[in-house]
Amino acid sequence: MIVILAAIQAEFDALVAFVKNPMQKMTPFGELVEGTIFDQHVVCAQTGVGKSAAAATTTYLIERYSVSTIINVGSAGGLSEDLAIGDIVVVDKVTYHDFDLTAFDYPYGWDFDDYVFYADQNLIEKAMSKKQLLDSKIVSGPLASGDQFIHDKQHFEKIKQAFAGLLAVDMEGAAIGHVASLYNIRFAIIRSISDLVLKDDNPSDFSLYIQKAAANSAALVNHLIYTLANQ
């Protein structure tokens, strides 16, 4: 069974639009819809915002369902000048940008291997193979998560310097990848850019473009599940 996780209502609604024979339930964390996409059994759940909510929801579902695949879908803040609003990042690796043990001589950045989690390569390749089906640009690269909406340029520069090649930031992906990895469940993270951290009006961009980002990421997940159903 495939679990698909989205943090906020707009992201969840865009995803659930693809579900057939939906059965709605409630969890302690938010809404859940169980059904099928291309005859694949799926559970779509709203996690709520932030790492704790994402980790708790992921664990809750793993403990209650026979989960083979976890997909995290939604929006992210872009950190690359090569990205535009609506572009999609298929994440290859993810970590926490707000996890800092440098006071105890642990590294801060990608070198802290225990807290870098790798998405399933097969899922990445299948998602990337659908590039021609969507109007949006689709790239693959790393993501970092933290319990902040990054809008301050000084904060942005610190993160960018520590995490070479970082394409985007969010607030849930690393927690979902972390829990999935502990349970040895393959995962993918598909995020569409809703705002660009390097712009001064970043918070207002998010409010304007979240619907577009939600729709784009959900559409790619739909294509990915079609591929999984026909492999």
Could you tell me the two tokens for 171?
């607030």
Q: Provide the β-strand partners of residue 189.
A: 72
What whole-number percentage of the chain has pLDDT above 70?
Answer: 90
pLDDT of residue 4: 96
**How far apart (Å, rounded) are the C-alpha atoms in residues 218 and 191?**
9
For 50-60, what is the mean pLDDT?
A: 95
Question: Residue 92: CB partners within 8 Å, gap ≥ 6?
Answer: 118, 119, 124, 140, 141, 142
What whole-number percentage of the chain has pLDDT above 90?
Answer: 46
Quick: pLDDT tens for 185-226.
999 999 988 777 665 554 445 555 677 777 788 888 888 888
Helix/strand/coil (H, E, C) string of the chain? CEEEEECCHHHHHHHHCCCEEEEEEECCCCEEEEEEECCEEEEEEECCCCHHHHHHHHHHHHHHCCCCEEEEEEEEEECCCCCCCCCEEEEEEEEECCCCCHHHCCCCCCCCHHHEEECCHHHHHHHHCCHHHCCCCEEEEEEEECCCCCCCHHHHHHHHHHCCCCCEEECCHHHHHHHHHHCCCEEEEEEEEEEECCCCCHHHHHHHHHHHHHHHHHHHHHHHHHHHHCC
Quick: pLDDT tens for 7-46.
888 888 888 999 999 999 988 888 899 999 999 999 999 9
User: Based on the structure, what is the number of domains in the chain?
Assistant: 1
**How far apart (Å, rounded) are the C-alpha atoms in residues 2 and 64?**
13
Q: Given the structure tokens 């520590």, which residue do they identify? A: 162
Q: Which of these is catalytic: 13, 170, 172, 195?
A: 195
Query: Which amino acid is it at 204?
Result: S
Of 94-98, 113-117, 155-159, 174-178, where does the model show the most confidence? 174-178
Radius of gyration for the alpha carbons in the chain, expressed in angstroms and rounded:
16
pLDDT of residue 204: 45
pLDDT of residue 132: 65
Q: Identify which of 73, 185, 170, 176 has the alpha carbon closest to the alpha carbon of residue 120.
A: 185
Q: Which of these is catalytic: 11, 170, 172, 205?
A: 11
Q: Is the pTM of this model over 0.95?
A: no
Catalytic status, residue 195: yes
CB–CB of 86/213 below 8 Å?
yes
For 133-162, what is the mean pLDDT?
A: 80
Residue 220 domain boundaries: 2-229
- Per the document, the length of the chain is 231
**How far apart (Å, rounded) are the C-alpha atoms in residues 19 and 72?**
16
* CATH label of the domain that carries residue 96: 3.40.50.1580
Catalytic status, residue 63: no
pLDDT of residue 79: 81
Q: Given the structure tokens 């992906």, which residue do they identify? A: 173
Quick: pLDDT tens for 73-82.
988 888 877 8
